[in-house]
Amino acid sequence: MGEFVSVEVADQIATIRLDRPKMNALNGQVQQEIAEAARIVDEDPQVQAVILYGGERVFAAGADIKEMADMSYADMSAHSSTLQACFTTVARIGKPVIAAITGYALGGGCELALCADFRVAGESAKLGQPEILLGIIPGAGGTQRLPRLVGPARAKDLIFTGRHVPAAEALEIGLVDRVVPDEQVYTAALEWAATFVGGPSIAVRAAKQAVDQGLEVDLATGLEIERLQFSGLFATDDAKIGMRAFAEKAKPRFTGR
C-alpha cells in the first residue's frame, strides 16, 4: 500500500504491517501511511479483525528524533495535531484491533500499541514512554491513553522516569494482555483475531464505540450512549438472526447487516 506500511488480508483478518528498517521509526510519512491503512481496514466489510505488527524484531521504537530535532514550536504545534489525528484514526477502527508486540514498543510505538483494543507481547519485549529523557512528553496520546489503561499513578511512573517496562511487568500492570514466546507473537495475535471472525460485526462496532466513548464522559452520559447503541441494534438483521438462532438452539450465521 505505502512505502513503509502495508495491509494484508487473509481469512477476514487484516494485518497492518510496519516495515521501515531498522527500528520502524515513526516519521511523518509512516504516520500518514498508518492512518491510511487504518481507514482502509475500517471501511473494508470483509475485514472483521485487525493486527498491528512491526515484524519479528521490533514493533516500533518511537518517533523519528532526527526529523523532530530541528522543529520549532510553530512547526510542532502544527505537526502534533496531524500526529494525534493519525493515531486516533487507528483507535477508531470499528473492529477488534490487536497489537502484536515484538522487541521495542517505545514512545510513539507504545502510543500506537495503546490505540489497539488488546496487546500481545513477546517475552523479551519492552514498552515505555521515554520522551521525558529528551526533555519533552508523549505527544501522540501517551499522557491520556496510558493512564486510562493502567491508572494515573502507574502511568506517571512510566512517563516521569521514561523507563523501559519488560513484558512480565507490562502484563502485571495491564499494559499488555498476554505474553508469549517471542517467536509466537504474531501467531498468538492471529489466533486471537480469528475468534472474532464470523461474529456480529455491527454489534462489535457498537460495543467498541460504547465502551470507548463512555470512558470519556460521566456515567449518565455513558449509559445514554449504551442505550442508543443497544436500541439501534434491533434494526439490524444480525440481531434478528442471533435471537432466532438462540430460540431454535442453532448456531447463528451473521451477515454483517
Sign of the alpha-carbon torsion through 19, 20, 22, 28: negative
Residue-by-residue pLDDT tens, the chain, 257 positions = 789 999 999 999 999 999 999 999 899 899 999 999 999 999 999 999 999 999 999 999 887 777 778 888 888 887 888 889 999 999 999 999 999 999 999 999 999 999 999 999 999 999 999 999 999 999 999 999 999 999 999 999 999 999 999 999 999 999 999 999 999 999 999 999 999 999 999 999 999 999 999 999 999 999 999 999 999 999 999 999 999 999 999 999 999 99
Cβ atoms of 239 and 246 closer than 8 Å: no
Q: Which helix (H) or strand (E) holds 165?
A: strand 165-166
Cα 210 from Cα 228, distance rounded (Å): 9
* Catalytic, out of 67, 111, 172, 183: 111
Cα 38 from Cα 33, distance rounded (Å): 9
Query: Can you read off the three cell numbers belonging to residue 114?
Result: 495503546
Query: Can you read off the three cell numbers belonging to residue 106?
Result: 517505545
Residue spans per domain, the chain: 5-194, 201-247
3-class secondary structure, 2: coil
Predicted pLDDT of residue 87: 95
* 177 exposure class (CB count in 10 Å sphere: 0-12, 13-18, 19+): middle
Annotation: CATH topology of 201-247? Lyase 2-enoyl-coa Hydratase; Chain  A, domain 2 (1.10.12)
Cβ atoms of 149 and 119 closer than 8 Å: no
Q: Is 131 a catalytic residue?
A: yes
Q: Is 224 a catalytic residue?
A: no
* CATH class belonging to 5-194: alpha beta
Sheet bearing 126-128, strands edge to edge: 104-106, 126-128, 165-166
Predicted pLDDT of residue 153: 98
Cα 126 from Cα 102, distance rounded (Å): 8
* Catalytic, out of 33, 56, 123, 131: 131
